[in-house]
Amino acid sequence: MTQHPNAWHNALSQLDAVAAKIGLESHIHARLRQPKRSLEVSIPVVMDDGSEQIFTGFRVQHSLDRGPAKGGMRYSPLVNEDEVKALAMWMTWKCAVVSIPYGGAKGGVACDPKALSQSELERLTRRFTTELLPIIGPEKDIPAPDMGTNAQVMAWIMDAYSSHAGFSVRGVVTGKPLSIGGSAGREEATGRGVAITTREMARRAGITLAGASVVIQGYGNVGRAAAQILSKEFSCRIVGVSDARGGFYNPRGLDIAQIGRDMTTHGALPAQIDAERVAGDEFLQLPCDILIPAALENQITTQNAAKICPKMLVEAANGPTTPEADLILRDNDVVVVPDILANAGGVTVSYFEWVQGRDEYFWAADEVNRRLERIMVNACNEVGTIADREKVDLRLAAYISGVGRVAEAIRVRGIYG
C-alpha cells in the first residue's frame, strides 16, 4: 500500500540531507529538528444558527534564532500539526535564504473557510487570535496570509490583538489592507517573486523565457499573480492553468487577462475557457518548458514524478515535491527551483510592510518592487553560486545557504543558562 507522504517527515529529511552535506554540528542539527514552540488551541465559535462548534488551531514557531518568528495562517480542512510544523520549518529557511531578519512560524485552523459565512469566519479569527495572545506580537511572532486567509482575516487579527493592547498594533500582522498599514505590492509579491526567480534561474539554465510555455497548477493568489507577470512582463506563453476542480490546456496560450477578469467576477476559474479540459494528475504531465506547482504540498511524488518532464520546475507552493520525487526529477535533468527560494517574495514584502509600519513611512509600489527585485536576484545569485561551487542541485544549494545562516546565528548566540 502506498503511504500518503507526510510534510513534516519530508522537511526533516531535507534538513538531514543538508546537515550531512555541510557537516552540521550534531547539537545544532538536533535543535533544528524540533520546533522551538508549538501551541495547539481549541477555538469555540458560535455559528450563525446559534450552535457552538469547536475548531482546532495551531501556531508553531520553528526558530527564533535570527529574529521574531514569521509566517502565514492557513485555513483548510487538511491543516494538522505535522503540516504546520513542516511549513514553520520551511519559513525559517526561506527567511534565511533571502536574508531577512526573521525566524520561521506557521499557523492554521482545521476548517473549510468556503463553508463558513463571513461573520463565522470573523468570530473564528478573533477567538483564534485571542487564544494566541501569549505568543504573537510585533516583536515575537507575526502572522500573514496563507492558503484560505487574506487581507481581511489579517485586519481581524490586528483588530482583536489591538483591542487587547488598548491601541493599534499594526506590526502584529502583515498582508493587511492598505487602509490600515498594508504595503503596496504585498498582494502580488509571492507571484512576483516566483516570476523573478523563474527569469533568473531560466537564464542560468539557458532557457529562453520569451515564448516559453508555462503550466501553473493552482490559481489562487500566487498562481494568478505569477501567470499575469510571466505573461505580461516576461512574454511567457501560459498554456495550462488549474484549480481544485481540474485544469485547462491550450498549447497556443491562454488569455490570462480574460481569465483574470472572469475570476474577479466569479471568484474561481471560469467554467468555459478556449482550451481543452485536463483532469487531475494528467495536468502535471502536460508538455511545457516551465511547470509551476502553486497549490498544495506533496503533489509530485514517486507515483507521478517519472512522467513529469518540464525543463524547469519552479515551486511556488510550499513543499510540492517529496524528497523521493526530487531524486527522480534530478535523474531526468529537470531543474528544480526550490520553494524556500522561489516563493520567498511574499515574506520579503511582508518584511517591507513591517519595516514601513515601524517607520510610519510608506513606499510607493515601484519602490517596493525595486527592493523586492534586488533581494530576489541576490538570493538567486547566491544559491546559483553555491550550486556551481558545491556541484549540488538548487534545492541543496538553497538549504546550504538558509540552514548555514541559521546555524551561524545559533553558534554566535550560544546557549543561555
List interacting residues with ligand GLU (CB under 6 A). Answer: 70-72, 144, 146, 174, 318, 343, 346-347, 350
Q: Of all helices (H) and strands (E), which one includes residue 142?
A: strand 141-145
Question: Closer to ligand GLU at the Cβ: 141 or 159?
Answer: 141
Question: Closer to ligand GLU at the Cβ: 108 or 240?
Answer: 108
Which neighbouring-strand residues pair with 75? 109
Please give the residue whose beta carbon sits closest to ligand GLU in the complex.
Answer: 72
- Could you tell me the smallest distance in angstroms from the CB atom of residue 165 to ligand GLU? 20
Question: Closer to ligand GLU at the Cβ: 24 or 98?
Answer: 98
Residue 185 dihedral angles phi and psi, to the nearest 5°:
80, -5
Reported residue count of the chain is 417
Which neighbouring-strand residues pair with 105? 61
Cell numbers for 399, please give them: 538549504
- Could you tell me the smallest distance in angstroms from the CB atom of residue 409 to ligand GLU? 19
Q: Which of 115, 93, 110 is nearest to 102 (CA)?
A: 93
Note if 70 is an active site residue: no
- Could you tell me the smallest distance in angstroms from the CB atom of residue 364 to ligand GLU? 20
Residues 6+ apart with CB under 8 A from 264: none
Cell numbers for 73, please give them: 495562517
Hey, what's the torsion of the CAs at 246, 244, 349, 142, to 10 degrees?
Answer: -170
Classify burial at 362, counting beta carbons within 10 Å of its beta carbon; exposed 0-12, middle 13-18, buried 19 or more. Answer: middle
Find the angle CA(243)-CA(111)-CA(291) to the nearest 5 degrees: 25
- Could you tell me the smallest distance in angstroms from the CB atom of residue 113 to ligand GLU? 15
Find the angle CA(375)-CA(242)-CA(320) to the nearest 5 degrees: 50
Write down the catalytic residue from 36, 106, 307, 311: 106
Within 10 Å of residue 99's Cβ, how many Cβ atoms?
Answer: 16
Question: Closer to ligand GLU at the Cβ: 102 or 249?
Answer: 102
- Could you tell me the smallest distance in angstroms from the CB atom of residue 215 to ligand GLU? 21
Q: Which residues are catalytic?
A: 106
